[in-house]
Chain A
Amino acid sequence: MATNPMHQFEVHRIGPEIKLAGIDLSFTNASLFMFFSAAAICAILFLGTKEKKLIPDKFQLIAEMFYNFIAKMISDTAGSKAKPYFPFIFSLFMFVLFCNMLGMLPYSFTVTSHIIVTLLMAIFIFIAVTIIGFLKHGFGYLKLFVPSGVPLILLPLITVIEIISYLSRPVSLSVRLFANMMAGHTMLKVFGGFVISLGMLGGWLPLGFSVALTGLEILVAFLQAYVFAILTCIYLNDALNLHH
């Protein structure tokens, strides 16, 4: 059982069973690691804002680096109109990043390796962006599906493609993050299993791979959080600044 690479993704209940109207809402290891991520974010930001120094110390520098990073990303992709959504995108990026990074610790659980979690976030973003788009532009937001400067014959086809691509946004957004996390952790586990099964003689090569993959996975963890946040910004940009 312990060598099964998918074992690490199993959710199990911690503590008593909580049932609300017949629905199981028990506290699980997934909930525990969501809580850990949120707590870690708050802890780092608390240490980063505890003292207001002119020359920042390490934690203040980290907090300000995150802030400037997200602020620059938003202003680069969605412009100044997206400023009110900064706290949401900041929270989203931090949450995904910390869930990914905490998942890199041995024996931990990766929250973002579950399709339900990423799908929920993606659907929320999709619905929110759609509502913002309709609120800002009314039914003019539908012009998003009708690009200008397209020959009249191609227009119906292009519109259908645009609608399908728009509707597939939550799927692509959630599956990208989920699949990356699951694949990476499965690979790590598989190579870890090789080290044991090959023993002292042949285990060194997969061990080396494991070390290299850990580095790669840390990069992927950061990159996927970044991609998740920047795609949110791009969707938000479509809703705020209609270009068609």
Chain B
Amino acid sequence: MRLFLLIIGIYTTSEINLLAAEAGMPQLDPTYWASQTFWLILIFTTLYLTLSNLFIPKIKDNIDSRENKIKDDLDEAQKLKNLAEQKLREYELSIENAKKEVQKIIFESKNKLNLEIQNKKREFEKEIEIEIANAEEEIVNLKQDSLKDISIISEEMASKVIEQISGEPMNQSSVKAAILETTKNNLGKYL
């Protein structure tokens, strides 16, 4: 509180001093007005001419060249981006083409393989048929041969049996005829 009062007291005294000093404001003393006018005009004109002819064009040039550089870089980046996108499209297109080709190749080779398999199959079937035909012929031959053998053996056996039983040989041709007849009747049952 005492400090506060002290400050107020000093402030009021200095305010009086201030007002007293303001009576003699050096700004209103005209002694050096002409000098200030002269030097202000001289120095400000020099400053203006220096700035407008030397420094301002330089600064403007700097700023402009930077802006141009940035713009050029952006344009370049855009160009490169477009180029990259085009390349990507080309690449995708070539991949797609390659895929199509692969599918075509697969399809073709499948067809070819199928055809070959079919041909081989047919050939084998033909061969098998020939083999079967041969085998059947052989079987028929064998059947006939065996039929002949059977009739000869049965004739002999029949004549021997008759000889044993009757004690005298039978007429060969009648035995043969009887055997032939029985064979005809019963052979179908066994062969």
Complex-state Cα separation, A117 to B44, whole angstroms: 11
Chain B contacts of A193 at CB under 8 A?
Answer: 14
Which listed residue, A35, A113, A186, A206, touches B43 by the CB 8 Å rule? Answer: A35
Query: A61-86: which have CB < 8 Å to B?
Result: 63-64, 67-68, 86
Distance to closest chain B CB from A215 (angstroms) = 21
A159 beta carbon closer than 8 Å to chain B: no
Complex-state Cα separation, A113 to B31, whole angstroms: 16
A120 beta carbon closer than 8 Å to chain B: yes
Chain B residue at minimum C-beta to C-beta distance from A38: B47
B63 beta carbon closer than 8 Å to chain A: yes
Distance to closest chain A CB from B59 (angstroms) = 5
Distance to closest chain A CB from B102 (angstroms) = 52
B55 beta carbon closer than 8 Å to chain A: yes
Distance to closest chain B CB from A42 (angstroms) = 6
Distance to closest chain A CB from B16 (angstroms) = 12
Chain A residues with a Cβ closer than 8 Å to the other chain, count: 57
Dominant secondary structure at the B interface: helix
Chain A contacts of B50 at CB under 8 A?
Answer: 42
Chain B contacts of A63 at CB under 8 A?
Answer: 55, 59
- Please judge, given known A-B contacts A6-B24, A28-B39, A67-B59, whether A87 and B51 are in contact too, CB under 8 Å: yes
| CB atoms of B69 and A54 under 8 A apart | yes
B27 beta carbon closer than 8 Å to chain A: yes
A11 beta carbon closer than 8 Å to chain B: yes
Mask of A26-64 contacts with B, CB within 8 angstroms, 1/0 = 111011001100100110011011001010100010011
| CB atoms of B26 and A194 under 8 A apart | no
A4 beta carbon closer than 8 Å to chain B: yes
| CB atoms of A26 and B10 under 8 A apart | no
Chain A residue at minimum C-beta to C-beta distance from B39: A31
Complex-state Cα separation, A42 to B50, whole angstroms: 8
Chain B contacts of A198 at CB under 8 A?
Answer: 6-7, 10
Chain A residue at minimum C-beta to C-beta distance from B51: A91
| CB atoms of A182 and B27 under 8 A apart | yes
Dominant secondary structure at the A interface: helix
| CB atoms of B38 and A5 under 8 A apart | no
Query: B1-53: which have CB < 8 Å to A?
Result: 3, 6-7, 10-11, 14, 17-18, 21-22, 24-29, 31-41, 43-44, 46-48, 50-52
| CB atoms of A9 and B18 under 8 A apart | no
| CB atoms of A202 and B3 under 8 A apart | yes
Complex-state Cα separation, A121 to B44, whole angstroms: 10
Chain A residue at minimum C-beta to C-beta distance from B25: A6
Task: Give B residues with C-beta under 8 Å from A.
Answer: 3, 6-7, 10-11, 14, 17-18, 21-22, 24-29, 31-41, 43-44, 46-48, 50-52, 55-56, 58-63, 65-66, 69
12 A-B pairs with CB atoms under 8 Å apart are A13-B32, A24-B32, A25-B35, A31-B39, A34-B43, A34-B44, A42-B47, A64-B59, A64-B63, A114-B27, A121-B44, A197-B10
Q: Other than A11-B36, A38-B46, A56-B62, give 4 A-B pairs with Cβ distance below 8 A.
A: A28-B35, A49-B59, A95-B47, A182-B27
